[in-house]
Structure 1
Amino acid sequence: MSSRELVVLGTASQVPTRRRNHNGYLLRWDREGILFDPGEGTQRQMLLAGVSATDLTRVCVTHFHGDHCLGLPGLIQRLSLDRVPHPVPVHFPAGGARYYDRLRHASSFHDVTDVRAEPVGFDGQRFEIGAGVLEARRLRHPVETYGYRLVAPDGRRMLRDRLEAYGISGPAVGALQRDGHLDLDGRRVPLAAVSEHRRGQRFAFVMDTGLCDNVFALAEEADLLVIESTFLSEDAALAAEVGHLTAAQAGRVAAESRVRRLVLTHFSQRYPDPERFAAEARERFDGDLVVADDLTRVPVPPTA
């Protein structure tokens, strides 16, 4: 199993269907398990997907419309029921703090887990987390809404032919990576001589929004972009009115932002054929495209 993958828990829009649960997306990223937008039924979907409460290290809520947050009370209570031993920060729009407080304490339970409110207070706010930098960008929707972008630190890729040319192998490689150089037979070999720059992987999560500059900023050069495509182009006027994207707009964002793998989700129940979303997006984007289904697992593409 990939150490960096998206586990899709729900893909519906405002109204769930027989095949699609309300929203829920778990990003496994090394030791982090970041849950985005837990809608109703998230606990059950976690069970079906083989995700435990202890897998969760962080929760990100884009906004406080019910299909993106009404699973939060049960989820928080489950963290305590399972006695999750580590802190679990929750990010959400600061302007919706009253909704978070109500959801956090929606009913009586034995509250023993360290669930920490870490609201997003401004456009571009960044949080340093174990996986890298988590950035929040304000989106265009009738209520305060943020998208999220995770950027892992840059690193170095070791080049086997150069290592062999210098006669470096085994534990010496680790020492070279740790110290940035290696003294070998009276000469110093710098790390740059046997490696090349490797860009950190990037993940973007864009939910309910009209098309705006921050959608492109979040998606820029993402290795994996998860983006709503609630409507098809035939309903573009309605999408703009209620602050949502069409599949064609999602495809345009991915193409112009040089996205490597595009995941479409958050589908309106009015469209029975999911392939129509794929067809529209492919008119703009010719890269790797996934039309998400509940319980789908999507690996983050490895660094090229």
Structure 2
Amino acid sequence: MANTHYYPIGTPGQPWGEAERARWRATQQRQRSYRDDVIAALGRLDDALEVVQYGQLHYAPDHYPLFAVVNRNHDPALPTALVTGGVHGYETSGVHGALQFLEQHAHAYAGRINLVVAPCVSPWGYERIQRWNPDAVDPNRSFRDGGLIEEAAALMRWMAARGDALLVHMDLHETTDSDAHEFDPARCARDGKPLEPEIIPDGFYVIGNSEDPQPAFQQALIAAVEKITHIAPADAKGELIGMPLQSPGVVWGESRSIGACAGFTDARYATTTEVYPDSPRTTAQQCNDAQVAAVCAGLDHALAQR
């Protein structure tokens, strides 16, 4: 039976109003620094890469410049790959995996594909190790209708203005134990719904866009990552996070229709990666390495198919 008393904010069965959102927001404390962890790392990148500010978040008293990295020698004759991290700010390896890719591997794709990397889409959430923005809105359900919140809208506007011919879009995420004991309870309380237990997959997996899943592309990512960390097995129902397993470590889910970041572009090859950082069988560095391996495998597969 679903537990109706599972979160300290709100009245069971009633969606939050502004008072509940304000109470929730007051509990969120800064735990790490976007400036030290992300902006400083961007400043250390190779000169062949250009750091571009594409937006600004104003959450008084805090202000967050939003940055993306592109290769300086953009070639309009080449396809473009978009890599996004930190759409959910608390999913650490999405941010640090994107930065590690830029530091260690971006040069290998020079002259082969244009790169656009937004390593931390939600810096307020990154600093507070939080899934939502300050208004308790999920950024990864906001990439539709021009962007429902500024984290999504700023990136969508900028990408539309660039007009890149996107071949690849990889959105780097994690599935954590905190999904089950914090973020799912908070979401159900916010929406006035009962809490249903969720099984957190132990291992890496990917969610292909059901609109155009590109199975071979998804499988290429799994083949690369399984050399670094374990792949999530299906649960007793043959599913991962409530979706049928299509092949080892691969499920297909809606992206565009739900406003997920991986669905807002027209990239032929698109996916959402999911690392499990709470497993005793992996480390934080392996999680970063898994994200990097997935990005490289995705780019390599897409380029090989051209």
Higher helix proportion (structure 1 or 2): 2
Higher Cα Rg: structure 1 or 2?
1
TMscore range, shorter length: under 0.3
- Structure 2 length as normaliser, TM-score? 0.27
